Structure formats: structure tokens, C-alpha cells
């Protein structure tokens, strides 16, 4: 189910030919599903703000043609590639394919960002700088100076409760374990991929944090301002919520067996 053969690598041949041979190579992965309205502007900002990084769009076979749109608009941009997934859809499965892609191509670090502009690309350099001294950097809404702009009270309370629930059950002392804006060094990516990841959806954010903490990797939180998506619809579903509720318990019981 998680086999990388389910993904079709659409990276242009020119990409491999133009790689810099420096030791610090960053890959920014952007998991997408029906994000045609947002993706072009996001990629442009990432390429402009992080000049020594490549961008990989990992598309979950979007019906709106997100992958084809990126391939057309950025056909001559050697720093941008598309991985069009096949088979079972899922945010977590997309992330895992991105992690394997980064390892296979010898990237030094990996940045993960959502496609809907809820994460500001201008904060990517802050995450990368922090990653030079830590294995995992979490873009946090809840550490000092972090925030979730324009959120109503009920969403704030739900998010705070979710992170407290996760911390209590798993023992992972991270204020914002559910954020999808983060940066991993190569050792962290290898550690996550080397474990039997159970998540198919957004719970991979919690599971990856748990795996890193259990492996003794260093985790730091960097403040970010979280914004509501610019265009498109949320991907939240009953299945996603159920998996997110169940995952902390699965991790706890798996940890107790180790």
C-alpha cells in the first residue's frame, strides 16, 4: 500500500543535470489534492524566498488537474518537479512518498508545507536555520509568538484540546504536534521512513513527531502565524478525524510493546 511504485515520477531530466553539488540541499515538499487555485502562486513564492531549494509537488491524482497545471506552468523550471501518485489517496501516504524521494536523491533536509497558504512561505528560512541545530523543527502556532490568525474561539479550543490530548496519551511534549509546517534533517527522515508508519492521513504529523521523540532526536518549535486557506476547500473528513483520534492510542500501545 505504501510502495513507492504507486507513484509516477514526472521530474524533468534537466533537474538531475542542473543539481548543485553542495552539501546543503533542501527539498520543499507540497502534498496536493485539488489545489490548482493555490499552487502556482505558492511555488513562485517558495522558489523566490528559498533560492537554494527545490520544490516537489506530490499530487494525489487531483481531479482538478493540479499536477498537469504545475507541469505546464513550470515546465522550464529545473527546480520544480511533480510526483503524481497512483493508488490509495491520503496525506500521510503522499508525505511518505515525498520522504522516500528526498532520501533517494540525497537531499540534506526536507521542508513540508501545505498548499493552501495556511503556512506562509516567508517562514521557511526560519525553519531551515533552526534545523541546523535540531533534527526536527515544528512550525508552531502555540509556542511563544506563534498564532492562528482570524480563528474563531471554537477552532482555537478544538486545536488546543487536540494537542493536549495527543501530549497526554503519547507523552510527546510538543505544543503543536498537529502542524503540517515543519523541517526535518536527513537523519530524521531516515528515522521516520525506517519505522512501520501506520498513518494514511493527517495523523502522520503526530506519528512522525512520536517516532522522532522515541528515537531520541531533537525537536524544536519555531513560531508561525497560521492563516485560513486562501482558496479551495478543506480536506477534513470523518475518516481523517477518526484516524486522528485513534492514532495516539495506537502509538501508545505500540510503544508499550517495545
Question: Could you tell me which residues come within 8 angstroms of residue 248 by beta carbon, excluding any fewer than 6 positions away?
Answer: 165, 166, 169, 170, 206
User: What does the pLDDT read at residue 29?
Assistant: 98
> Residue 55 and residue 12: Cα distance in Å, rounded?
12
Residue 230, sorted as left (phi over 0), alpha (psi -120 to 50) or beta, turns out to be alpha
Q: How confident is the model at residue 12 (pLDDT cuts 50, 70, 90)?
A: very low
Domains of the chain by residue range: 4-257
- The domain over range 4-257 is classified in CATH as 2.60.40.420: no
pTM tops 0.85, yes or no: no
Q: Which of 111, 132, 148, 116 is nearest to 223 (CA)?
A: 148
Eight-state DSSP code of residue 106: T
Q: Which residue has the higher pLDDT, 77 or 249?
A: 77
pLDDT > 90 in the chain, percent? 62
Write the pLDDT tens digit of every residue in 32-61: 999 999 999 999 999 999 989 999 999 999
Amino acid at each position: 500500500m505504501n510502495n513507492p511504485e504507486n507513484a509516477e515520477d514526472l521530474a524533468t531530466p534537466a533537474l538531475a543535470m542542473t543539481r548543485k553539488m553542495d552539501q546543503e540541499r533542501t527539498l520543499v515538499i507540497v502534498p496536493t489534492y485539488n489545489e490548482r487555485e493555490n499552487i502556482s502562486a505558492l511555488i513562485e513564492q517558495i522558489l523566490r524566498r528559498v533560492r537554494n531549494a527545490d520544490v516537489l509537488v506530490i499530487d494525489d491524482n487531483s481531479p482538478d488537474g493540479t499536477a498537469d497545471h504545475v507541469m505546464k506552468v513550470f515546465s522550464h523550471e529545473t527546480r520544480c518537479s511533480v510526483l503524481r501518485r497512483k493508488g490509495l489517496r491520503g496525506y500521510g501516504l503522499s508525505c511518505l512518498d515525498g520522504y522516500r524521494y528526498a532520501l533517494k536523491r540525497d537531499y540534506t533536509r526536507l521542508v513540508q508545507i501545505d498548499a493552501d497558504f495556511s503556512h506562509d512561505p516567508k517562514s521557511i528560512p526560519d525553519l531551515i536555520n533552526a534545523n541546523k541545530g535540531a533534527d526536527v523543527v515544528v512550525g508552531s502556532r502555540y509556542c511563544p509568538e506563534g498564532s492562528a490568525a482570524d480563528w474563531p474561539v471554537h477552532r482555537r479550543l478544538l486545536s488546543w484540546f487536540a494537542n493536549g490530548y495527543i501530549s497526554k496519551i503519547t507523552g510527546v511534549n510538543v505544543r503543536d504536534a498537529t502542524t503540517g509546517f515543519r523541517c526535518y534533517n536527513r537523519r530524521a527522515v531516515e528515522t521516520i521512513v525506517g519505522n512501520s508508519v501506520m498513518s494514511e492521513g493527517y495523523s502522520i504529523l503526530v506519528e512522525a513527531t512520536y517516532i522522532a521523540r522515541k528515537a531520541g532526536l531533537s525537536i524544536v518549535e519555531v513560531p508561525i502565524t497560521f492563516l485560513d486557506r486562501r482558496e479551495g476547500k478543506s480536506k477534513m473528513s470523518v475518516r481523517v478525524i477518526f484516524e486522528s483520534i485513534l492514532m495516539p492510542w495506537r502509538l501508545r500501545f505500540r510503544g508499550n510493546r517495545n
